[in-house]
């Protein structure tokens, strides 16, 4: 991935071949640009919050929220492509679209998350209790995420697959050096029952996919394999942490 910054037009242009946009890296490269030559004379492009570490042992952290300010925008590369944004939440201060159209007539799909609800943090185990996954929009779905606390019924979050029964949230991690965007093996603490997590939402709480939420399409209990119909933006890494939540409607 690469970027060019234009202080006059306030446009951050993604270079040819860029189909992955890491919000943390973008912010870091902008800071480097500001320190180069006399670029500090231009109006500030970003205001950020979050990114702080919660628990170094579990690898959890508050997602980085990067707000574009002073009219700065981002322009994708000039080609037909899908751009996946990860590593934080990209916003425009006061509202609006962080991206502008390309000069040419190209078909571009941008997968990026917007926050819907931040809820009380509770990571002490497998529930019950309030949950904070810093959840945003579920990858591959257009409906907004509803308030999780409204789904809590005192005994657990209602499970979409009623034949299995209700569950609380479940803390887990990737245990797979060959994880892909559509399938990976989870840790030994996950259920050994087939289809147990089908329809539930998995949200990454650490790693490059932190803040990305994905609905589980199939779960193989004997191998603890989690599968998705909609591909993640990039492959998860072994050791990445996540939580599985019973239902979001």
Tens-digit pLDDT profile for residues 81-140: 888 888 888 888 888 889 999 988 888 888 765 443 333 333 333 333 333 434 444 555
Q: Are residues 41 and 151 in the same domain?
A: no
Average of per-residue pLDDT values in the chain: 76
pLDDT the model gives residue 97: 87
Of 66, 96, 111, which residue is a domain's last?
Answer: 111
Task: Give yes or no: residues 105 and 119 share one domain.
Answer: no
- Residue 28: which H helix or E strand, with range? helix 23-34
Q: What is the pLDDT of residue 145?
A: 46
Task: Assess whether 97 and 132 both reside in one domain.
Answer: no
CB 19, CB 83: distance < 8 Å: yes
- Give residue 213's domain range: 113-249
Number of domains forming the structure of the chain: 2
Q: Which of 92, 111, 130 is the last residue of a domain?
A: 111
| Final residue in a domain of this structure, among 64, 83, 111 | 111
Nearest-CA neighbor of 63 among 10, 115, 16? 115
pLDDT of residue 139: 55
CB-based contacts of 147-153 (< 8 A; 24+ apart in sequence): 147/117, 147/119, 148/117, 148/119, 148/245, 148/248, 149/119, 149/120, 151/246, 151/247, 151/248, 151/249, 152/128
pLDDT at 129: 35
Q: Are residues 118 and 229 in the same domain?
A: yes
Task: Looking at the structure, tell me whether residues 163 and 95 fall in a common domain.
Answer: no
> Quick one: tokens of 48?
């950020």
**pLDDT, position 25:** 92
Residue 145 dihedral angles phi and psi, to the nearest 5° = -75, 130
Q: Which residue positions in the chain have pLDDT lower than 50?
A: 114-137, 142-167, 247-249
144 and 75 within one domain: no
Compute the distance between CA of residue 2 and CA of residue 129 in angstroms, rounded to an integer: 42
Q: Give the residues across from 169 on adjacent strands.
A: none
| Kind and range of the H or E run holding 34 | helix 23-34
| Residues 238, 127 within the same domain | yes
Please report the pLDDT score of residue 61 as a whole number.
Answer: 63
79/140 same-domain check = no
Looking at the structure, do residues 83 and 147 belong to the same domain, yes or no?
no
Shared domain for 18 and 141, answered yes or no, is no
Alpha-carbon gap, residue 120 to 49, rounded angstroms:
17
This prediction's pTM? 0.52
Are 119 and 175 in a shared domain?
A: yes
Question: Is residue 148 domain-shared with residue 240, that is, in the same domain?
Answer: yes
């Amino acid at each position: 991935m690469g970027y060019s910054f234009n202080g006059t037009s306030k446009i951050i242009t993604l270079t040819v071949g860029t189909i992955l946009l890491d919000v943390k890296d973008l912010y870091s490269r902008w800071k480097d640009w500001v320190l180069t030559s006399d670029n500090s004379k231009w109006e500030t492009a970003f205001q950020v919050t979050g990114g702080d570490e919660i628990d170094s042992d579990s690898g959890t952290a508050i997602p980085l929220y990067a707000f574009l300010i002073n009219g700065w925008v981002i322009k994708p590369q000039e080609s037909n492509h899908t751009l996946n944004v990860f590593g934080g939440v990209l916003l425009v201060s006061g509202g609006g679209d962080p991206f502008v159209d390309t000069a040419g007539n190209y078909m571009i799909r941008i997968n990026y998350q917007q926050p819907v609800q931040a809820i009380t943090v509770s990571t002490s185990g497998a529930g019950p209790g309030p949950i904070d996954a810093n959840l945003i929009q579920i990858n591959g779905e257009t409906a907004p995420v509803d308030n999780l606390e409204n789904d809590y019924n005192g005994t657990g979050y209602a499970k979409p697959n009623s034949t299995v029964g209700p569950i609380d949230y479940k803390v887990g991690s990737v245990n797979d050096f060959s994880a892909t965007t559509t399938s990976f093996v989870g840790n030994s603490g996950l259920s050994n029952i087939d289809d147990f997590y089908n329809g539930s939402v998995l949200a990454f709480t650490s790693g490059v996919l932190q803040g990305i939420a994905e609905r589980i399409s199939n779960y193989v209990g004997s191998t603890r394999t989690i599968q998705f119909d909609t591909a993640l933006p990039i492959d998860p890494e072994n050791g990445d942490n996540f939580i599985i939540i019973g239902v979001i409607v």
